[in-house]
Amino acid sequence: MCASFFSRWVKPRPHIVESPPPPSIAHGAGMQIPEYKNKPYFIVASVEMGNTTTKCILTGVSLETGKSYVINKTVSMSRDIRPPKPGEEIFGETLDGTKLSRKAVTELVRDTLVQCHKEAHLDIQTDLDFVVRSTGVVAEMESPDQIGDFVIALANGCLIAGVPPRKMTPPMTKANQSQKLQPFSFADKVVFIGAVAGVIPPVGSTGVEMVANEMEGELAMAG
């Protein structure tokens, strides 16, 4: 009798995938310290503000094993952003009508980034290696200038939180990489011949090309 005969009485079950926590190192009786505090890890923060949520996800990659782990994740509601103050220019809004100003977005990104690192007991200036910024709040925007304001607000929020500018742009040489990464890097074996891959920016409702992801925007302009 084939297995499909019994499938009509068996309900489908979801396949749940869990992310294992970073390994810990035992220091004395009952004392556990996360591995990323003692061993070489490349830690990246992904900061994103969308129509519904604003989040910061810390990901760590072990430079010894190549395994990646989610260190911490902080999520807040985008509608909880403070309203624009008198004199602040409103450059856009979310799908639910929440008004946005550059200063308000900057403060929300700063607070989310700081909180995420604080919960993980990490220092932004010394432990963080790179930060990626992006946004999904583009449906109610009509011009590239509005997208530019949002991208600038995301970057300013990271800068005010304490992220050095060099950790917001990719290093082009091995010497520009952090000391802990250089022994594991092959950047000195890669030859740059001047060709840069690019992406085609999406076209908004007004027929104008607009890029909301700063990393995609840099590639689009370079390509």
Does residue 64 sit within a domain? Answer: yes
Antiparallel, parallel or unpaired: β 41-49 and 130-135: parallel
Output the pLDDT for position 141: 66
Per-residue pLDDT of the chain in tens (223 residues, 90 and over written 9): 555 666 677 777 888 877 888 888 877 666 788 888 888 999 999 998 888 889 999 999 999 898 999 999 999 888 889 999 999 888 878 877 888 888 999 999 999 999 999 999 999 998 999 998 888 776 566 667 777 788 888 899 999 999 998 898 888 788 888 888 888 888 888 776 666 655 566 565 556 665 555 444 443 333 3
The token pair at 67 is: 């395994």
Domain that holds residue 107: 19-171
Quote the pLDDT of residue 177.
84
The phi, psi pair for 7, rounded to 5°, reads: -65, -25
Number of domains in the chain: 1
Residue by residue, DSSP assigns 156-178 as: HHHHHHT--GGGSS--SSGGGS-
Please check whether residue 95 is in contact with residue 140, taking contact to mean a CB–CB distance below 8 angstroms: yes
- Inside any domain, residue 202: no
Residue 57 lies in a domain: yes
Q: Are 22 and 33 in contact (CB under 8 A)?
A: no
Residue 75 has what pLDDT?
A: 93
Residue 204 included in any domain: no
Look at residue 157 and tell me if it is in a domain. yes
| Per-residue pLDDT, 174 | 84
Residue 204 CA: distances (Å) to CA of 31, 53, 92, 100, 137: 53, 22, 14, 19, 12
Give just the sign of the alpha carbon dihedral 163, 128, 169, 78: negative
Q: What is the pLDDT of residues 171-215, one digit of tens each?
A: 878 888 888 888 888 888 877 666 665 556 656 555 666 555 544
Residue 116 lies in a domain: yes
Q: Residue 213's pLDDT is what?
A: 53
Q: What is the value of pTM for the model shown? A: 0.78
Asked if residue 180 belongs to a domain, the reply is no
Asked, for residue 209, whether it belongs to a domain, the answer is no
Residue 82, domain CATH = 3.30.420.40
Burial classification of residue 159, based on how many CB atoms lie within 10 Å of its CB (0-12 exposed, 13-18 middle, 19 or more buried):
middle
At residue 56, the pLDDT reads 94
